[in-house]
Structure 1
């Protein structure tokens, strides 16, 4: 068995060929797709976070709305760029969204990805401390966020408050029990995967990572997952961790599929440079269900992970993306033993 979710980047464009021509279209369709996915038995609805772009950005209003309109499906992010976040305010937002959903939040964090704006986090009021890199700042923000989620009091109460206080130091409210165990880190390297394990966070590994060995992407990613699990065991955490990988997977079951997404797959990975780092971008999969099953059987990282996040082409609209998810759940997942 494997948890299967969808991951939406939430693109919109005024193009007449797009089903999402405005931010309102994307937000409302994101909620509707989560409802449809829950009806299909999909396990998770995840959303990407990008600033300064015609894509989904501020995640918590959307997560809260999805949580209010659904009852079973996990809701999450993949990922929130912690260079931009006030970790204390984020505790309040995350706690509220998790309580609205009944404890279904699976929150993916990271140090971020290449941006639309040079050092865009500076415009949000954040800058690295002395001797820090932007990635260090993201990890520092994440550490504060995790500490505050533990719910211990830290703030000295006013002796003459507007409302009565409980005894002792005050904590942030609302707190949602168990949320600390449902925080994930999007790791692009083996080292950050090991750091995430030491911090007690679940692991999200995307379709892009540092090229550390020159091997095919799925082999490098599988090694990253094993390194993470080894570090988790060494850290002595009490619970079992979760690991997700992301893939573009398109079952071709109709002539419409063959016309629209028939060329979305690829036979090989792509290697290149991103932010002065040698990187590898994993292949996509598209094919008839039987052929697709055989291709996916050879993906070592998918086999290692307990959760698969399937990227969806959200600009094609809710109906078509629900069809793609239904095809995956009906024609592909059983053949791989995922259902």
Structure 2
């Protein structure tokens, strides 16, 4: 675990790749340009947050494949792919191929998915078999086993019963291609103590966001709740040396922003806070009210760094991923990303990667 009072040694960013449904190509291109910019600025990882049935990135594998050929150094992550919508064999093939094309830079994050959306996606992906599909975490474990070279059931059985190894129709018993080490880089997106402990006990890395379980830290506020989640993960790990925590936070530095941009940043943060409050009130007990969202932080980098360096959850993380607000235009996101690398990062003690 990082030393008390320390900052994460790695700094990245996260984007949902929002787009106008009238012109989605422009929004997707803007997301790729952000990855290129992050690469040029020396940031460690570009994280894409995919979502189905929304005006945002829905195919992170396709996006990261394109990004891997335009940005040649930065790590490429997903935060996170909802496995209920995926076929484990096909996902293993896609991610192994992407990892090889990127030179081993892939950082796949996966999760069961938001409870509010799982049902809708299940009906779309499995219209007649949803109730028979394996639970998300079982599907994730099967996917990881395939990545590790586990045998594909029935792949080495020939329909005609022959044992001719030169048969052109013969199948390999394992997923192809293989990318050694990829399975060890898998992370699980968790928002509750139970799911964080599950991720740790099964040897995954951890993705934590600005949403976590209310009261899990003893009622001392969001930072304590989020720290409790990270501690639950680390405590459950069979091998503490394998721990890796990426923490996504909405932090918006204003150092290089114009007065107009600063006004937009703050208006967007206020609108997000209002939407979160409405959702909390509308869902009632046992639903959204059981979760709590961190407020966005907007301000000069020295003030933001002072707040982050005293945050117990940040102190327990290995990597900080700055989540870019989806409601701002592309020019603002590029300005924020530049300020993250040139002002906020150095204020946290971070240095840009050079190779």
- TM-score (structure 2 length as normaliser): 0.83
Which of these residues, 282, 289, 304, is aligned with residue 294 of structure 2?
A: 282
Report the alpha carbon displacement of residue 313 of structure 1 after superposing the two structures with TM: 3.1
Hey, what does 2:39 align to over in structure 1?
A: 38
The residue matched to 2:42 in structure 1 has which SS? Answer: coil
Asked if 1:109 is matched to 2:110, the reply is yes
Counterpart mapping for 1:1-339 below 5 A: 2-13=9-20, 22-115=23-116, 118-125=119-126, 127-129=130-132, 137-154=135-152, 155-158=155-158, 159=163, 163=168, 170-211=173-214, 212=216, 213-232=218-237, 235-236=238-239, 239-253=241-255, 254=257, 255-265=259-269, 272=280, 273=283, 276=287, 278-314=290-326, 316-339=328-351
* Superposed CA RMSD: 2.6
Cα distance in 1 between the residues matched to 2:251 and 2:100: 32
Hey, what does 2:3 align to over in structure 1?
A: none
The residue matched to 1:171 in structure 2 has which SS? Answer: coil
The residue matched to 1:310 in structure 2 has which SS? Answer: strand
1:138-187 Cα shifts (integer Å, max 9, x gaps) = 11110100111111334324345653869xx6101111111001110001
Report the alpha carbon displacement of residue 262 of structure 1 after superposing the two structures with TM: 3.2
Whether the aligned pair in 1 keeps the contact of 2:265 and 2:328 (CA below 8 Å) is: no
The residue matched to 2:69 in structure 1 has which SS? Answer: helix
Hey, what does 1:18 align to over in structure 2?
A: none
Between the two proteins, the alignment pairs up a number of residues equal to: 322
1:218-257 Cα shifts (integer Å, max 9, x gaps) = 111111111211111xx237x5221011111111123243
**Residue segments in structure 2 that go unaligned for 5+ positions in a row:** 1-7
Deviant stretches of 4+, over 6 Å: 268-271
- TM-score (structure 1 length as normaliser): 0.86
Cα distance in 2 between the residues matched to 1:119 and 1:328: 36
Q: Which moved more, 1:142-151 or 1:254-263?
A: 254-263
Instruction: Say if 1:246 and 1:257 are closer, same or farther in 2 by CA, change over 3 A.
Output: same
